Amino acid sequence: MQPLEASLRDYLHTHSNSVVRIRKPVGIRDIGALSAQTDDPILFENIIEAPDFRVADILVKNRENQARALGVSREDYLRTLAHRLRLPPRPPVKVAGGPVKEVRWLGVDADLTRLPIPFHKEGDTRPYITLANIIRDPETGFLNSNHAGTTVTGRHSGAISFATPHSVRIMNKYRQMGETKMPIVMMGGVPPAYEIMANYSGLHLDVWGEFDMIGTIMDRDIEVTDAETVPLPVPTQAEVIIEGYVHFADQTVGAVTSPSMYHIPQYEHVPTLEVTAITMREDRPIYRNHQTCPATDHQTLPRLCHEAVLYNRLSEMGLAVKDVRFPTWGAALSCIIQFDYRHDGFVNDALMMVMGAPWINTKLVVAVSPDTNLDDPADVYHAIATRCDPERDTFVVPRTRGSLYDPSATPLPDEFYPFRTVGKMGIDATIKARHDRNDFKRAWPINWGNVKLSDFL
């Protein structure tokens, strides 16, 4: 394992051979469409509206880059993340100051419109912030992280959408204490391992906060210092920090940019963000965007810890797990589990376990054997078409909790808006233990994969 970089800029430098660098002038409205056309990290170095900034995106869309985020090989990535999530927390180290405090915009100078915040989809009239944030549980003191999409509504204000149950639970604790607002900081440019951990959603709030586990999954100390205007720590090596308060008085925003790439829920009632300070590095800070459509980090990032948790649970069943994947092309509603097994019974147990996971994005679960290429949707579909007998190898569970972002799910009555119900399907597309395994051997040309047409052109 290679040592992990402390900062995003060092990370991009180390992996510069895989970074797509855009040096030509780019307008802020074109960043999203350009970012979504690559599977590798992209860095915009010449932003017309904000020449003193750079913008980075697409850091963890595929397995290669997810492995780089942890400093391990592609083959070791999932088992490494799964193992580290079982380790004790490694809390951050408090220091005085750091690079992120080199420039301070305080009070009226803390102007969101000075940052290179992109627009995300057709019809957007305002920029949309997609940064990882830090909030504190007022009861335990633990620091929780998540990504809460925030529509910029003014120079110092936004409409912030907390989609995770832990963040909603923390806000409710503040309300029960009689508070009308909650402190928050947003991290605009940190190594991708921070963001992987920020999206953990297992049971943990009574034992540790997600921010305490960043050092664990990075296997290094994380340095923090005090924020300028709110009682929270900030990572010293971040590129940009936005500080402020979440006011609990709701406002309505519409046209949510969902991971399923639809405009649902069609509206949300969300709290208001008040910005009190923005700090950053002096040397052309890198703003971290998460383009939300079509198939980007937005589909991948919130499910990486899901995959690791499922890896652990499937392994506990005695399965030889090769991979667990929420593919970008599955609209964040589908999971593929890949393993070998000894006899009948294992596959359905595995499918039911994943379908019954705590999250609402396991609507369609497919089990495949180790020879299926999860990076190729056509190969997955081929396995479904040739290794699945719909009469024996599929089953449906009716009326389960549906995703808010699934237009096929049935909306609940208005008082429960925007929640939905939906059925779930399990598909066994593995090599069948009940048949001759030789029946499932694929036919390939001689030297397939060893000779390349490009070498003969």
Q: Which fold has domain 317-437?
A: UbiD C-terminal domain-like (3.40.1670)
Can you list the alpha helix ranges (DSSP code H) found in 30-164? 31-35, 63-70, 77-84
The dihedrals phi and psi of 101, each to the nearest 5 degrees, come to -100, 10
Given a contact cutoff of 8 angstroms between Cβ atoms, the answer to whether 401 and 430 are in contact is no
pLDDT confidence of 203, banded at 50, 70, 90? confident
What is the token pair recorded at 426? 């399990």
Name the 3-class secondary structure at 377: helix
Q: Which of 148, 205, 131 is nearest to 182 (CA)?
A: 148
What does the DSSP assignment read for 224-262? EEE-SSSS-EEETT-SEEEEEEEEEEEEEEE----TTSS
Q: Do domains 8-300 and 317-437 have the same CATH topology?
A: no
Helix (H/G/I), strand (E/B), else coil: 23: coil
Per-residue model confidence (pLDDT) at position 341:
92
Domain boundaries, the chain: 8-300, 317-437
Describe the crossing of helices 77-84 and 63-70 by its angle, rounded to 10 degrees.
Answer: 50
State the average pLDDT over residues 109-120: 96
pTM above 0.75, yes or no: yes
Convert the pLDDT of each residue in 308-355 to its tens digit.
Answer: 999 999 999 999 999 999 999 999 999 999 999 988 899 999 999 999
Which pair of structure tokens corresponds to residue 287? 């703003």
> What are 244-264's pLDDT values in tens digits?
999 998 777 766 677 888 888
Question: Residue 164: its pLDDT value, please?
Answer: 83
Q: Which pLDDT belongs to residue 2?
A: 66
* CATH 2.60.40.10 for the 8-300 domain, yes or no: no
- Average pLDDT over the chain, rounded to whole? 94
Name 308's Cβ contacts closer than 8 Å, sequence gap at least 6: 78, 81, 82, 85, 324
Using a pLDDT cut of 90, give the percent of the chain over it.
85
Quick check: 437 pLDDT over 90?
no
